[in-house]
Structure 1
């Protein structure tokens, strides 16, 4: 059984003092949670102080982005080793990075290679726009993103399916819709890595997931957790999502 992951993408939110306050509210409830992998992805400015707070807990830490080069004249960027020094995960290829910062499947692929070479677990994001969804192009878009973004990489990674039209809009794909697309993603992963390996790769759903609707997603056969945006900025909401995920795990084990 795949261990679900609940990852919180804070995006460009929280100063260091605000980040410390948020994490201090979460730690008592999340530090010893079993059966679910919990990951916090604060902005770069808060990575080091939050890493110190998470020492001795079972909570993982991730960056929201990184460059593929080891070092050099790349003003404003984080090198892979700068992340792996105190983090275990890195979000790559988020739709906002693709839309606002010109990331492509090819640059995502370079970053995945660099992340794995530095011992990081990449959380690779894929997803279609509303126009592509309405034109029935979802399967083609996510298949292309997976095939190009994962060319030549190892299977030690996580995929996050985030339909762009559901990110921060309050609109969410139904659990059945999300699961159907994630099944397609797993089929593409099987073509790349083989079916047995693909069955072990965790695929998350992201897009307006909150405590009130999390259970319906986690009850689906191929959804292995969530990449959380807005709800990750509120301790009680994020903790509730983690516990809902854990409840589904316990239900599946009973």
Structure 2
């Protein structure tokens, strides 16, 4: 992919966050899932760190070697024509320099955006200090501007996802981090685990940049999120887990019923259609 093409995709991705309605970002874990999302009409694709890791036999949480993650990101980016944003978890590094090396690698792989989370993976210290995240985000923004590449920085806070701290102070902490990340240069604030409409509305009132939420059965529907003013809704590992659930259902039918209906009915993708995706 040329730098000009990558830059145009980045600008398109930025524009998707400026619409009047919430746009849904599906999260792919390999080439075929990404191509299916594109074929179904999605205007952009994200990756799922959990899905990529699990598909290759690793736990989520930066257990998968970075080179394997980057290789998958590159394969996905090359396989589709729509913009693709990469989930780089906490950046695969403790220092700003290490995180920047990761960002450079995924940009080279074809990503036009990133998710950067503040969860540490350490139960004794579940969240990075605000100042640490601010420094990382600011450095990534500076890198993006120095390369004249409008990289979309989706700064994620895991305050709600990890149920950090007391529930009575969680909103204040999330807002403090969201504002700090926004001021540091984030283009969007990602708050997975947030489902309460009143809290979503409060955060919308306080934060001026785009907000990204994660699909959850308890959250408002898509039309309601659009009315509130939420710009983006991510699918996360949901599609990957749903695919595995269907695979389990097929397997149980074969083992327990000795039948093959679920994988041979007329709704199943044909072999010819599958090969057409790859060509």
TM class, shorter-length: 0.5 to 0.7
In structure 1, how many angstroms separate the alpha carbons of the residues matched to 2:111 and 2:88? 15
Q: Indicate conservation of the 8 Å contact 1:215/1:244, yes or no.
A: no
In structure 1, how many angstroms separate the alpha carbons of the residues matched to 2:15 and 2:111? 18
Alignment of 1:23-102 (within 5 A): 34-44=20-30, 46-54=33-41, 59-64=43-48, 77-80=71-74, 82-86=76-80, 87-95=82-90, 102=92
Match of 1:245 in 2: 225
Are 2:191 and 1:206 aligned?
yes
**1:153 counterpart SS class:** helix
In structure 1, how many angstroms separate the alpha carbons of the residues matched to 2:172 and 2:228? 16
Counterpart selection for 1:142 from 123, 133, 155: 133
Match of 1:19 in 2: none
Q: Indicate conservation of the 8 Å contact 2:133/2:181, yes or no.
A: yes
Structure 2 length as normaliser, TM-score?
0.51
Are 2:206 and 1:217 aligned?
no
CA gap 1:85/1:111 in 2 versus in 1, 3 angstroms: farther
User: Where do 5+ consecutive residues of structure 1 fail to align?
Assistant: 7-32, 67-73, 190-200
| Cα distance, 1:157 vs structure 2 | 1.0
| Cα distance, 1:117 vs structure 2 | 5.1
In structure 1, how many angstroms separate the alpha carbons of the residues matched to 2:40 and 2:226? 23
**1:166 counterpart SS class:** coil
**2:77 counterpart SS class:** helix
| Cα distance, 1:81 vs structure 2 | 5.5
- How many residues are paired up? 188
Q: Indicate conservation of the 8 Å contact 1:121/1:158, yes or no.
A: no
In structure 2, how many angstroms separate the alpha carbons of the residues matched to 1:113 and 1:123? 11
**1:219 counterpart SS class:** helix
Specify the structure having the higher radius of gyration (Cα). Answer: 2
